[in-house]
Amino acid sequence: MKTIVLASHNAGKLKELQAMLGDSFQVRSIAEFSSEVAEETGLSFIENAILKARHAARITGLPALADDSGLAVDFLGGAPGIHSARYSGSGDDAANNSKLLAALTDVPDAQRGAQFVCALALVRHAEDPLPIVCEGLWRGRILHTAQGKHGFGYDPLFWVEEHNCSSAELKPELKNSISHRALAMQQFRQRLGL
Active site residues: 68
CA distance 35 to 30: 8
Q: What is the 8-class DSSP label of residue 149?
A: S
Contact 31, 81 (CB under 8 A): no
Q: Establish whether the linkage from the previous residue to 80 is cis, with ω within 30° of 0.
A: yes
Angle formed at CA 106 by CA 103 and CA 110, multiple of 5 degrees: 95
Contact 54, 101 (CB under 8 A): no
Could you count the other beta carbons within 10 Å of the beta carbon of residue 80? 20
